[in-house]
Amino acid sequence: MKLKLPIIILTLTALVALPTLYANELPDLGDVSATVLSPLQEQAIAEQILREVAVSDDVLQDVEVTDYLQSLGARLVANGPDKRQKFNFFVVRDNSINAFAMPGGVIGVHTGLILSANSESELASVLGHEIGHVTQRHLARMLAAQKYDTLKNIAGLALALLVARSNPQLASGAMTAASAVGVQNQLDYTREHEREADRIGLQILDSGGFDVRAMPEFFSTLQRGSRFAEGGAPSFLRTHPLTSERIADVANRVEQMPYRQVADSVEFQYVRAKLRTTQRGVQAVVDVFEQNIREHRYTNETAEHYGLAVAYVLKSAFVQAEKELAWLKRNAPQHAMIENLTARLAVARNDPQLAAKQYADALKLYPDNRALIYGYAEHFLAIKQADKAVQLVKEKQSLYPDDAYLYDVLAKAYTMQNQALLSHQAQGEAYYRKYDLTRATEQMDLAVKANDGDFYHKSMVEARLKQLRQMGDDKKNKLRE
């Protein structure tokens, strides 16, 4: 992940000097002989990483792609050895073939990996492998075994991990401090870790109904990538050593398992087509999709037309986009991503009445689809109908009570209505769900001090402010223990 320069500087500083900015809030990890981080320490690292993920421009903020990955990950986790562990999946804007697992069940996946996967089972095999690293607590054990001063500051450590694990080239580059290289080298998985993660991953794949042969197929993808990629092996191989012995071990295990032919989901195909539109200039993307359709060079015709429709919308070629969507509605099964693109086209054409109708009709078919909920709410904000945005979010919020973005929408809508208390309250709840307790408390304090709001709302924000402050105190006390 190519974090913004100030964050990179902070990361490297954290690795070298371990600043004491959070010293009063974060734990000493204690005895260097400990073999594994405590659940509280893992949670602290995971929350700090998710806090950075929530604001990073290099994390893909596309709810359709994220929800697909989260759904795929949840299916795999449900068939894994630890169903109590909470997992969070996110997508990094990076063309390299990579995925990485962090303490606390945080797993990042590069767009390049999704595009390089030859099948959904192949993508699932990588996620299953990373889930195996988490459930076996490989990285947590390696971190706990490091020197005391390296682990003293979890905030700095979390940032360092995010850079080092998502972009191994950066961690070993000329701009990186020597101690950062040392940390990265010590956190590369061992052959034993890899074999165990492979074994867990294969079990998850099999139990989840995927094709277990996808794992050795992915190894072949990596080998091909290592031959043609500039600078050597794909990023995944820099932290996940791939040996002939390991490939043979996986192949032997697979041979003992029943053959299962598994078709890709249409979501996998649509998500890959959508991501392809971000890989180069829009005209070049259009040219590729048009040529593929013309020459029948595709694995899924409907996905190719969907990708072309997305590209046309990006190009503002609205007539062509409408033709592609018409083709999809004639030839493809009804799908939420097609309905959402239809509504997005109406928005792009500056037709608010048609956009409202498209969103309303689509939500009748797919009432819990977050992309449609987001799009409809954004539509109401754009045409200054704050009351309708509030009504929509309130209707749908019970489906996604931990969704920070829905609270962001409420904050904007209440601001339009000049309701300061409600706006600060909503913004505070958004920050809370972005793992930023400090800003959440600040916003709730502003809500308490706002001059508007009735007795009922003032009582609510005062109680919530007290609760947030107590959470902060409890967290400090627990981390000191």
What is the pairing mode between strands 106-110 and 88-92? Answer: parallel
- Which phi and psi (to 5°) does residue 38 adopt? -75, 160
1 CA to centre of own chain: 12
Whole-angstrom Cα distance, residue 187 to residue 158?
13
Tokens representing residue 128 in the block: 């299953």
For 77-211, list the strands marked E by DSSP.
Answer: 88-92, 99-102, 106-110
Contacts of 357 (CB under 8 A, 6+ apart): none
Tokens representing residue 240 in the block: 């996940």
User: Is pLDDT at 148 greater than 70 in this prediction?
Assistant: no
Whole-angstrom Cα distance, residue 6 to residue 56?
12
Q: Which residues are 91's β-sheet partners?
A: 109
User: Is pLDDT at 19 greater than 50 in this prediction?
Assistant: no
**Interval 419-473: pLDDT, tens:** 999 999 999 999 999 999 999 999 999 999 999 989 999 999 999 999 999 998 8
DSSP for 179-206, written as a single string: HHHHHHHHTSPPHHHHHHHHHHHHHHHH
**Interval 381-428: pLDDT, tens:** 999 999 999 999 999 999 999 999 999 999 999 999 999 999 999 999
- Output 148 or 407, whichever has higher pLDDT: 407
Mean pLDDT of 49-60: 90
User: Is pLDDT at 174 greater than 60 in this prediction?
Assistant: no
Query: What confidence score (pLDDT) does residue 180 get?
Result: 45
**Least reliable range by pLDDT among 214-223, 347-356, 367-376, 389-398:** 214-223
Q: Minimal CA–CA distance to 270: which of 307, 297, 301?
A: 307
Sequence length of the chain is 481
**Interval 228-249: pLDDT, tens:** 344 444 556 556 666 677 888 8
3-state secondary structure at position 7:
helix
Whole-angstrom Cα distance, residue 366 to residue 336?
7
Whole-angstrom Cα distance, residue 316 to residue 59?
25
User: Is pLDDT at 223 greater than 70 in this prediction?
Assistant: no
Instruction: Identify how many contiguous H helices and E strands the chain contains and give both numbers.
Output: 26, 3
Whole-angstrom Cα distance, residue 470 to residue 475?
8
Query: What confidence score (pLDDT) does residue 56 get?
Result: 87
- Which phi and psi (to 5°) does residue 395 adopt? -70, -35
Q: In what order do the strands lie in the sheet with 99-102?
A: 88-92, 106-110, 99-102
- Report if pTM > 0.75: yes
Query: What confidence score (pLDDT) does residue 473 get?
Result: 86
Whole-angstrom Cα distance, residue 317 to residue 311?
9
**Interval 287-346: pLDDT, tens:** 999 999 999 999 999 999 999 999 999 999 999 999 999 999 999 999 999 999 999 999
